[in-house]
Amino acid sequence: MNETGRLRLPLLLDGATGTEYMKAGMPSGICVEQWAGEHPGIVRDVVCRYADAGSDIVYAPTFLANAGNLKMYGLSEQAAELNGKIVGIVRESLAARDVKIAGDMSTTGLMCEPFGDTEFVHIVGIYAEQASALAEAGVDLLVVETMSSLAECRAAVVAARQTGLPVFLTMTVDKEGRTMWGDDILASLVVLQDMGITAFGMNCSEGPDDMIPIFERIAPYAKIPLIAKPNAGNPALTPVQFSDRCAALLRRGVSIIGGCCGTDPDYISALRHMLDSFDIDCVHIPPADYKIIAAARSVYYLNDDLEYSEPIFCEVDMADALLEVSGQSCDAVLVHLDTPDDGYRFSLNAHMVDKPVAFESESVEALENALLHYHGKALVVSTSCELSHDLLEEIASRYGAIVM
């Protein structure tokens, strides 16, 4: 990554952190981030060994240092201070090395409405606090990792991009490419890459072999670099075996590679050796052929001549109307918005829609709020709308939506 934040590929990330801390004596059942802040020597040793093994980017161990998770330890008020302290340790440790530092972010442990009690904007605020603290502490980029909810991914991205830093995002999925909440990895890529993230991929849950078919499926749709940070496998691969399997991921379109659970500096060193002899320019993935693509928990392929449903008006309980329209022979469900509250109301009912969603509105605020709360790649209908096409494009671009 150069001074302007542009990627120079391929890039090598680091390996596991928690297991390295456990080897150094970290007990279980504690706040890892608090422990890291209290043991700067161990943090220094781990990040330096990864840098010396060849990592281009090393993650600061701020993984769960957000107010949502810290609350269970009575530390939610110390989120900004803890992030700054940990990044300070890492920056001082790596000052003499040519390596970039990533501020690490992950789940808040909270469940977004309507399946939980937490408002989406509250989760955005939690991530915004951590992202701001990491940026102020001097990280070079932000990494949102081990994510299992597209809704929470969107909250993290909305918050993180306010810093102006590059944002990497990786999700953890099963062998079918679905998260524990049922979100599909391809749909997540389609939604998130147009929200402005810098790179997208997977980490943690699978070894490199199990990631291969998933990357084969999503690579043709990727407009941004793809990341793989697989675990060491079960049973664990040796470092050389691991790097050989990761070379297969590079041939499937991955250009940012690292290790997760079970990997250590020896694995990163083996990856460095493999990467230095790998010709990334020889990898060519033909792009997927489609006209229009929308997504939520699934991906929808559309043509120019869309047929919309009759307009659906937003109410607190929209179940009957949405279930009825889902059974109609239309290409997309058209949702009419009058006020900002309409977008919020629809978000509480959107899970009942199994078709692409299109919004129409004469209100900038209503449209903005609907796109903020909708956890998918929506359509914005410009016909019969007095708002200018340029203004609609500006609003839609912030949330990866498409103006029709």
Range of the domain at 237: 11-282
What pLDDT does residue 283 have? 97
HSE-up (13 A, CA, CB side) for residue 160: 30
379-403 average pLDDT score? 92
Q: Percent of the chain, pLDDT > 70?
A: 98
In a domain, 5, yes or no: no
What pLDDT does residue 6 have? 55
What pLDDT does residue 328 have? 81
Q: Which among 234, 259, 282 is the end of a domain? A: 282
pTM for this entry: 0.96
- On whether both 50 and 135 belong to a single domain, the answer is yes
Comparing C-alpha atoms, which of 158, 111, 104 is closest to residue 134? 104
How many folded domains does the chain comprise? 2
- pLDDT at position 2 over 60: no
Amino acid at 196: G
- On whether both 382 and 266 belong to a single domain, the answer is no
- On whether both 225 and 324 belong to a single domain, the answer is no
Comparing C-alpha atoms, which of 23, 7, 4, 25 is closest to residue 15? 23
Average pLDDT for the chain? 95
How far apart, in Å, are the Cα atoms of 201 and each of 126, 173, 187, 208, 244?
23, 10, 12, 13, 19
Give tens-digit pLDDT for 339-383: 999 999 999 999 999 999 999 999 999 999 999 999 999 999 998
What pLDDT does residue 325 have? 86
In a domain, 127, yes or no: yes
Q: Which among 282, 304, 322 is the end of a domain? A: 282
- Find the angle CA(254)-CA(255)-CA(257) to the nearest 5 degrees: 85
Cα separation, 110 vs 98, in Å, equals: 37
- On whether both 152 and 88 belong to a single domain, the answer is yes
Domain at 250, CATH number: 3.20.20.330
In a domain, 149, yes or no: yes
Q: Provide DSSP, 291-320.
A: SEEEESSSEEEE-SS--BPSPEEP-S--HH
Comparing C-alpha atoms, which of 234, 188, 102 is closest to residue 400? 188
Give tens-digit pLDDT for 68-115: 999 999 999 999 999 999 999 999 999 999 999 999 999 999 999 999
How far apart, in Å, are the Cα atoms of 318 and each of 268, 272, 321, 361?
51, 54, 6, 18
- On whether both 200 and 167 belong to a single domain, the answer is yes
